A = this chain, B = another copy of it.
Amino acid sequence: MVSETLRRQVEALHTRYVRVIDDDQIEEWPKLFTETCLYRIATRENHAQGLPLAVMECRSRRMMEDRVTGLRRINVYEPQRYVHQISALEIEPAGEGRLKCRSNFLVIRTLSDGAMSVFSAGVYLDTVVVESGAALFEERVVVQDSRRVDTLVVIPL
């Protein structure tokens, strides 16, 4: 069991993550991660088989910032928006100030013509560190259920 204070910090990190993506503040997204980190989107199949193929992968905050610059250049926020739902957050102490977290996510996507659909659903597998009072992701592996979605992902999930 983790303390209430720690739990609230982790919840706040999850909430912040959702806000920066859904509210188009994507420049804030890398700041939720440690300098050296892992952000990875994989399908359930790839993840289960330990395959190196990923839909998206960044190994540092710097790579994430580059990704954001790229996103802004192609102006993806015009044609699509996400709304996230997060549920069933589990937090386990993992030693050395680290926490292992799991949660279910669901992303509803709205296109510019107004069409809404279930775009992605799956599990976040996280390693969170708490440094000087603030929680950051050291690792976020997004395991999505469907392999269909691969080519459609532009914005991080």
Contact = CB atoms under 8 A, between A and B. Distances in A.
B118 A116 contact: yes
A115 B121 CA distance: 11
Interface in A9-58: 14-15, 18-19, 22-23, 44
Query: How many of these chains are in the complex?
Result: 3
A105 to B, nearest CB: 8
Contacts of A88: 14-15, 18-19, 84-86
B110 A83 contact: no
A82 to B, nearest CB: 9
Interface stretch (A59-67, A68-76, A134-142, A143-151): A143-151
Contact of A22 (B104, B108, B116, B118): B104
Given A116-B121, A145-B116, A146-B116, A85 B110 contact: no
Contacts of A100: none
Given A108-B106, A121-B108, A121-B116, A87 B146 contact: no
